[in-house]
Amino acid sequence: MAADVPPTLSIQLVEEPRLLKLKKLFVSKFESAPKFYVRAPGRVNLIGEHIDYCGYAVLPMAIEQDILIAAEPLSTSFIHLANTNPFYSDFSINANTIEIDQTKPLWHNYFLCGFKGIEDHFGLGSPSGMNCLIEGTIPPSSGLSSSSALVCCAALVTLMAKEKTLPKVEMAELCAKSERYIGTEGGGMDQSICFLAEKGTAKLIEFNPLRATDVRLPSGAAFVIANSCVEMNKAATSHFNIRVMECRLATKLLAKSRGLDWKATAKLQDVQVKLKLSLEEMLIVVEDVFHPEPYTTEEIGEYLGISSKELRTQILSQNTQDVTAFKLYQRAKHVYSEAARVLEFKKICEEAPDNAVQLLGDLMNQSHASCKDLYECSCPELDRLVDICRQFGAVGSRLTGAGWGGCTVSMVPENKLERFLANVKEAYYKNNNQRSTLEDNSLFATNPGGGAMGFFEA
């Protein structure tokens, strides 16, 4: 079905100043014209943090900020990448010799993840070369999914260069898998919303099988993104993967404690499904099985009947091999309670009671508390920003995305929006040099945007 593949539009470039500018820069860089363009959006996650890789549904929406690529397929096998931001250096590679270095998450590696995902999928043995000029407006390493937008944009560019099509759901799954070449063990939220987003609606994204359902947000409330201006690169640190591993280990121990085949149980959701319990019942199991003190590798190995070495080599990722303490109780408690909050959020949006905004705000606040205290993925600046947002009228405010820095998302009654923006600006950004230079792009209300798409010049 045509509606299921990423759309391509034929456009008049004169009506699209950003594309026109990108075309001019492309021509001066590569001395030829781009054949097509691709846009892939960033996203804000309204609720459901760090649970996609545990199998649970999340509730994001696409934002206006995006990655844009102007592309020209070549008859050689060389890929030449340039970026409008001089911070990102030019890069060229023979497409037959691609290796993605997980020790250095350089920008072009994210492009290569998307490229390789498509090339491996079609496996034709003659990878396409191309000239590409990239421009991005998503603040990087800030929880708005700049990395996945770049991976998804590169994958769609490669697909179009090969004159192939794939359903959006397949593109999302392929990109979620191929972003892992960079070394992070993410779930599929970012790539899914990037392809499945539709203007005007947030989405409940469910996995296995991947699907997206419209979630109509309450009228009278605005969603505001505020950047703490602390950057955290997921692939350059082990924070993110440690949490994924803690969830994986918690899964194994819960499965073993209830007599399930722990080796065949991969995610916290699998335990719930196999035990046929509700999320509330899973929280009771968590209290019963885990102690709150951190677990050592030895203790986990003993529980599972394997050596510490086997645990490291068979279960842990490359960049978590040296971790010696894992908080299983806290992480599992966060995941099962956050998964329940997502379903509750969706239900309130559907039923739209009179106090919907207050109820949704409460859930967002509970989510932040859980991220901060149980999942420990907040940071002092994010906590301060969340407090400021609530102080100036947000009904709910929480960190969004991976955390340890990056952005908050707040729900603000529309009639208070203007004062809210002015007050938060004054309280968090004004008297700080680094923050005030970023200010314009750091605090803004956002509406649900559309998904990734291609453009041809008419």
CB of 124 to ligand ADP, least distance (A): 27
Query: How many Å apart are CA 439 and CA 446, to the nearest integer?
Result: 15
CB of 186 to ligand NG1, least distance (A): 2
Q: Is 135 in the site for ligand NG1 (CB under 6 A)?
A: no
Q: Is 189 in the site for ligand NG1 (CB under 6 A)?
A: yes
Q: Is 148 in the site for ligand NG1 (CB under 6 A)?
A: yes
39, 168, 203, 234: which one contacts ligand NG1 (CB under 6 A)? 234
- What, of ligand ADP, ligand NG1, none, does residue 134 touch, CB below 5 to 8 Å by kind? ligand ADP
For tokens 């199998």, the residue is 55
Q: Is 143 in the site for ligand NG1 (CB under 6 A)?
A: yes
Which of 190, 354, 362, 373 does the annotation list as catalytic? Answer: 190
Distances (CA, A) of 270 to 31, 207, 342: 53, 12, 18
26, 37, 56, 107: which one contacts ligand ADP (CB under 6 A)? 107
Q: Is 442 in the site for ligand NG1 (CB under 6 A)?
A: no
Neighbours of 419 (CB within 10 A): 12
Neighbours of 220 (CB within 10 A): 10
Query: How many Å apart are CA 413 and CA 410, to the nearest integer?
Result: 10
383-412 mask for ligand NG1 (x: CB under 6 A)?
Answer: ------------------xx----------
Give CA 351 to chain center in angstroms. Answer: 28
Distances (CA, A) of 320 to 72, 129, 244: 40, 35, 10
Considering beta carbons, is residue 71 or 189 the nearer one to ligand NG1? Answer: 189
Nearest CA among 106, 146, 139 for reference residue 228: 139
Q: Is 150 in the site for ligand ADP (CB under 6 A)?
A: yes
Distances (CA, A) of 399 to 92, 346, 448: 37, 19, 18
CB of 139 to ligand ADP, least distance (A): 7
Considering beta carbons, is residue 186 or 448 the nearer one to ligand NG1? Answer: 186
**DSSP 3-state helix, strand, coil percentages of the chain (rounded to 5)?**
50, 20, 30
For tokens 């820069």, the residue is 25
Q: Is 143 in the site for ligand ADP (CB under 6 A)?
A: yes
Residues from 234 through 273 that contact ligand ADP (CB under 6 A): 234-235
Q: b or e along 304-320 (b: 16 or more beta carbons within 10 Å of the residue's beta carbon)?
A: bebeeeebbeebbbebb
Residue 51 — φ and ψ, nearest 5°? -125, -10
Coil vs helix vs strand at 266: coil
Q: Is 154 in the site for ligand NG1 (CB under 6 A)?
A: no
Query: How many Å apart are CA 79 and CA 190, to the nearest integer?
Result: 25
Q: Is 134 in the site for ligand ADP (CB under 6 A)?
A: yes
Residues from 367 through 386 that contact ligand ADP (CB under 6 A): none
Query: How many Å apart are CA 380 and CA 387, to the nearest integer?
Result: 11
Residue 108 — φ and ψ, nearest 5°? -65, -20
Query: How many Å apart are CA 188 and CA 179, to the nearest integer?
Result: 10
For tokens 């191929």, the residue is 178
* Region near ligand ADP per CB under 6 A, out of 89-97, 135-143, 327-335, 359-367: 135-143
CB of 106 to ligand ADP, least distance (A): 6
- For residue 8, the one-letter residue type is T
Considering beta carbons, is residue 115 or 455 the nearer one to ligand NG1? Answer: 115
CB of 76 to ligand NG1, least distance (A): 31
CB of 38 to ligand ADP, least distance (A): 13
- What, of ligand ADP, ligand NG1, none, does residue 110 touch, CB below 5 to 8 Å by kind? ligand ADP
Coil vs helix vs strand at 86: coil
CB of 150 to ligand ADP, least distance (A): 5
Q: Is 399 in the site for ligand ADP (CB under 6 A)?
A: no
CB of 383 to ligand NG1, least distance (A): 17
Query: How many Å apart are CA 438 and CA 430, to the nearest integer?
Result: 10
Q: Is 114 in the site for ligand ADP (CB under 6 A)?
A: no
User: Catalytic residue at 387?
Assistant: no
Site residues (vs ligand ADP, CB under 6 A): 67, 83, 85, 88, 105, 107, 110, 134, 136, 138, 140-148, 150, 233-235, 401-402
Site residues (vs ligand NG1, CB under 6 A): 45, 49-50, 52-53, 143, 145, 147-148, 179, 184, 186-187, 189-190, 234, 401-402
User: Which are the catalytic amino acids?
Assistant: 190
